[in-house]
Amino acid sequence: MARKIVLEWPSEEITVTATLLDEEEPELCGLLWSNLEKPLKMFCRHPVSTGEEFSAAARPPRHPVKTGDVIGRRKRMFCDIEPGSINYSVHGGYGGFSCYYGPCTEPITVNGSVVAKVPDQELPQLRKAGQAVWDHYYMRHTPIIMTARRST
C-alpha cells in the first residue's frame, strides 16, 4: 500500500492528501517519512513571480541536525513540474516543501525533487491553498501555517 502524507492549512480549513513517489525517489521519500514522525508546522511563503507554486519550511531545529547528502534522483525546472506535485528539499534539518497548484513559468532548476503527488480530485483544494498563501503573503502580509503529517 502506498504511503501518503497530509498537508493542512488550519486557518483556511483546507486539507489535501498526497501519495509518496517511493519508486521514483526512495531515499528522499524515506527521509521525508522519517522527518514526519511527528507532524511539522511550516511557514508558507509565495514567490509571487514564478507562477502557481509556493513553499513551506519548518522552523530550524535548536541544535544542528545531520542532513546527509540526500538530494533526489531527478532534477527538474520550475516550468517542467506538473500541478499537484509536491517537491521536497533538505536544508537546515527538516527541509521544506514546494507545492505546485498550477503552471510555473521559471526555467530554473528546483532544489530537491518531486516526492509526492496530489490526486486530480484534490487539485481544487490545493489551488485554494495556493491562492490563500498568495493572499496572506502578498496582500495581507500575515503568516499562514501549513501542517505536514503522515496519513493514518
pLDDT attached to residue 137: 92
pLDDT tens digits, residue range 90-133? 765 567 899 999 999 888 888 889 999 999 999 999 999 999 99
Q: Is the pLDDT of residue 37 over 80?
A: yes
62-78 burial by CB neighbour count: b if 16+ within 10 A, else e? eeeeeeeebebeeebeb
38-50 burial by CB neighbour count: b if 16+ within 10 A, else e? eebebebbbbeeb
Alpha-carbon gap, residue 85 to 67, rounded angstroms: 23
**51 vs 20, more confident:** 20
pLDDT attached to residue 65: 58
Q: Is the pLDDT of residue 48 over 90?
A: no
Q: Is the pLDDT of residue 135 over 70?
A: yes
Sign of the Cα torsion 141, 133, 22, 104 reads negative
Q: Give me the percent of the chain exceeding a pLDDT of 90.
A: 65
Local confidence band at 61 (pLDDT 50, 70, 90 cut-offs): low
3-state secondary structure of 102: strand
Local confidence band at 64 (pLDDT 50, 70, 90 cut-offs): low
Q: What is the mean pLDDT of the chain?
A: 88
Burial class (CB in 10 A: 0-12, 13-18, 19+), 152: exposed
pLDDT attached to residue 74: 77
pTM, 2 dp:
0.89
